[in-house]
Amino acid sequence: MRTLHDLGDLRATLTQHRRAGKRIALVPTMGNLHAGHVALVETARRHADVVVASLFVNPMQFGPSEDLDAYPRTLEADQVKLTEADCDLLFAPSAAALYPNGLEGQTRVQVPLVSEGLCGGARPGHFDGVATVVTLLFNLVQPDIALFGEKDYQQLAVIRKLTADLHLPIEILGVATQRAEDGLALSSRNGYLSEAERATAPALYQTLMSARAALERGEPAPNVLDRAIEALGAAGFAPDYVELKSAELGPVTPQTREAILLAAAKLGPARLIDNVRVTLGQ
């Protein structure tokens, strides 16, 4: 696997692959890789001839009180994982390379509607940062397919809308959430948890599964969601939201059959998110 830091080197390398008729896949990451990221790369390997992973801790998507400085940078360990997953190229640019005019002077991409509420409500400007950096990466790599984890469901919806609205010729593939044996969704932020908090953390997924069962039995959604919030609080979380949305993140109506149940909650220093699919009207 080659690691590239320069934008010109990346473009020149990928131009050669493109001229040879190779199909290119992109897996954007912020590094500190775990088995969920590896699953994205392995899935990309099955869909493309050339797999490119990007590693960039994007300052634009962090709020002023969030953990940008504390976010783990583990380049060497990440290179080992990507090499073992049969990744071809790692693109690891600096912030100065991607944002040469600084954040204040940077053109931004905003995706309306789907960015609002949920994590977008709790983290103002977060999805503008995500949409901007993903658009930059799409422009630089020009992939045929890009892969994102379904754990970040709202992010995946934002990227799908961005791609459709800008008529980008890129297939967006969501990959199922990878979980630990106890059900906890794999996340780089799980590393912030103490031993006791890590033992508590699977309660987030367990609460969602219990709520899903109640919704699929036909219990009223407001009651189920309130009960889930109470359960998370009793388990030691500081809940941010538990919400039921359509699969497209619109409101649930009496005609909605495929829905998504999403939650975010703080546990110690970590803000954990998760979601499960729900089939309504059985």
Helices (H), the chain: 7-19, 35-47, 75-84, 95-98, 118-122, 126-141, 153-165, 195-200, 203-216, 221-235
So which residues are the catalytic ones?
A: 37
Q: How far apart are CA 222 and CA 244, in angstroms?
A: 9
69 pLDDT tier (thresholds 50, 70, 90)? confident
Give the integer Cα–Cα distance in Å for 262 and 275: 4
The residues, ordered by sequence, that sit 6+ positions from 247 with a Cβ below 8 Å of its Cβ are 258, 259, 260, 277
Contact (Cβ atoms closer than 8 angstroms) between residue 122 and residue 240: yes
- Cα 106 from chain centre: 22
| pLDDT tens track for 80-104 | 999 999 999 999 999 999 999 999 9
Q: How many CA atoms lie within 13 A of 63 on its CB side?
A: 11
Asked: is 2-175 a CATH 3.40.50.620 domain? The reply is: yes
Q: What is the mean pLDDT of residues 5-18?
A: 97
Q: Given 3.30.1300.10, 3.40.640.10, 2.60.40.10, 3.40.920.10, which CATH number is that of 188-276?
A: 3.30.1300.10
Residue 236 has pLDDT above 90, yes or no: yes
Does 188-276 match 2-175 at the fold level?
no
| Domain spans in the chain, listed from the N-terminal domain onward | 2-175, 188-276
Residue 89 contacts residue 51 (beta carbons within 8 Å): yes
Strand-pairing partners, residue 258, are 279
Residue 282 has pLDDT above 80, yes or no: no
Residue 39: alpha-carbon gap to chain centroid = 13
